Structure 1
């Protein structure tokens, strides 16, 4: 619950403060002393177990509880009652912030009784129910919050997420759409609609939504992860992998009143660097930049501040200054691995690949335990033509972390490209075990098994792929060719090969597909039909290339001799 997300500019931070004549008031209605003292009873709020809270923060919580008790006890006039109520609310927010749920639940109930029309307490109750795992209670809390503020985007988004979890896709869609109507720029709500499209088996619509969100977000946005999921649902593993490579886990901003409520509570006790880091974590990069620069005015040699400032500058698009601060970080500490890595990624995006590669090599050498960096290094080596160096690095990576999916995927592709089909089979088998819904991995595994003579294994692999992805043309085509041409009698099935190949030709009458249908017909003993379709394939080749290859002419002669084709 402590994960920060910056709120949209169109919404104001929630506050207990509302204007009164000549004074600041914390609730939206005038609270009388008696009502405050009767409703807010700190003795009923259990003392939380602070053993898991950092020692400094735990002491602050104890001190703040003592402060709250004193404020309630000594409230003798309306303004003091208001301040006491405000302090009680601050304590409640702190308990919620540190996930001290039992204490937070009791004080929230008291605050909601005291100020039933105050939106934030209903919203905080919603957050508490979600954190506690009470989804039914969370839905009820969301409905109560929306009764107070019907068009609150953050509440609508959380309600939509709860409805998705409950299987109410229609309700979730309506909630997401209402959130977008209230705040059209809400990337989080649009991401939600993308997942609704995926739930309804419409990955093309989901892809369009996710791509629009990604285009509106900073470089490296986690929106690229969602784009990759849509591509995977469409069966395009290569584009999915490319989208995932673009994801640098830059959060999609989402307004969260709890964090807005807590920020002013913590600023008076937080060091300047902590305030800057918190601002960046909340997405308030302009404020973070300003705070970092103030720190550097006092101490220009602080390498960590230079590095963090560079990160915020990159997010807002100030590349020139970001590069300057990254280089200053490295000048101050040549062994600052994260700075080398960040500079390498920046230089690569700018097309300065030689220098980028040097910094990436240095970063990975400085922090060999950072496998994602080493994966980036391997991919950069592959991109510059050093396939052997990339394969060597990737083999070490998967040995260190056998479950690192992207490393295995990249290694398999490089092994295939290097003609090492047997080694590729091993990587692809592991990849299929790790990612059963990876169509491209299953297809490539079947293809490599076919090419290495593992015909029975290839059939099992392709049959399983077709069970999961019955509409995939490439899988149907490869299986049809295997069933038609395998030298293994137990693998061949001419009749099924014809059915598969015919379905492929009906959808895409491409040259290779026409030829596979001819192979299947020959295996089924229908040689006259095989000759007809092979002649169609030859005509298609002549139209495309101006002539025919000897191999395809030999196949025609084979069928005319009433002989089926066998794979080598």
Structure 2
């Protein structure tokens, strides 16, 4: 009996323990849920209120409202709050973005993205000290992100802490050896130490990969000014302001990929295009069209991109035509879109439709210089030089500071010069060439055609002067140096030809034409050993370039190496069986009589300077 009572008591104690334990668990759960609810409520209250969106684009309004609602449903999600910050920042609401990033950082203190984005906001607001602190935190959390180190180095440099700046730039370059901002930073440090040539060399190398990196052009102009190299200084002055290069930064790309603002997307697409990232540029332009399919601006911007050099092909031209046609439908009064549409139609061979569009533009705006010039080109192609001349004259008479003036006047003057040549208006042609070169001193084709015209007039000294004028304006132009060298060879001025040809080879070491021409000029001026070196180099660059083998054979002959000469002549005839000078030379070496073709072009007249 006592044993039964004891068991009952034990069972009751167990039940009581279970009840108490369950009660405690319930209390704990309630407390935890309550605390989380209260803290979520507190966090929800800290989420920035949606700002006044009255003037914002409709797509921006929708995106902000939806992202804000999601963040309020998940107030303890760092991703949700961080995305809200990114949406605000990408759409231009910087204050709200900062609040959201701070909340995301509090919830995910080990995520390097949020202090990085906060640093960008602080930089945009001019608060460099705060930005510096956030970048320090970013590099602590992720020491392998080069763009954070580059931005940190830039801020230290601005604060005149050059030791820390150099440390950051070196860490950047260790992670990414050709990082443009870090190279610029190191170049500035070199310049500050008086090492201007070292700074210039670093920036020249950087510009070979990133030719649109504006700050590098600006600082190079300073470097060359300090070095007393006025020609090089002038070459870089002004390029920085027009370059528009932006440092490629994956986190910044992630940011603007979220933007729902067509205007911001177009701006970012144009930056990407200028920076050489054509794939990203096209993606952003197309996203702008998707977001605003009834906007003339988005269709026009995408079409202009599709027609730009380095992008355009027939498929993209047809795509551009569709977008331009839509742009004209949306705003028939926008004459620039109509002009672009007419240009595409003309390029696709639809000349009648293009002419109608350009005539419509001129009816609406008689001083639309580009439409006038385009009509002139149509009549020039048809051989109606009189009408072409009249339209060109009208286009060139439009004042340069008006809304519809010529965008590239150097090309217009160039076309006018070519037309004047066809009409035998010699003085007008020469004046137009000079005007084209004045408008754009680096416009290569104008110098080329100008010099060629002077050669046709047998004004050889004037032609040489034009080539030299072009080289003076653009000393890094290999084509002009090569053209001058070849012309001097044609005049049998071999010694004078060597300098421009050596420059051409320096600027384009893999151009077989330049290397061959230099070797030939050296051969004819008596520098046979150097000629052999360059001509062998030419045959290595392009083993199928027969003139290089021919000149090399003659160089071997000049050295008395008849076996090597014969072998090179054999190669020439394998590549070009009908090349008479090689056959004649080989027959002479073998002491066999020349055939009936021996009276054809001599070696001198057939092979001068690599074509």
Output the TM-score relative to the length of structure 2: 0.45
Q: Please identify the structure whose Cα radius of gyration is greater.
A: 2
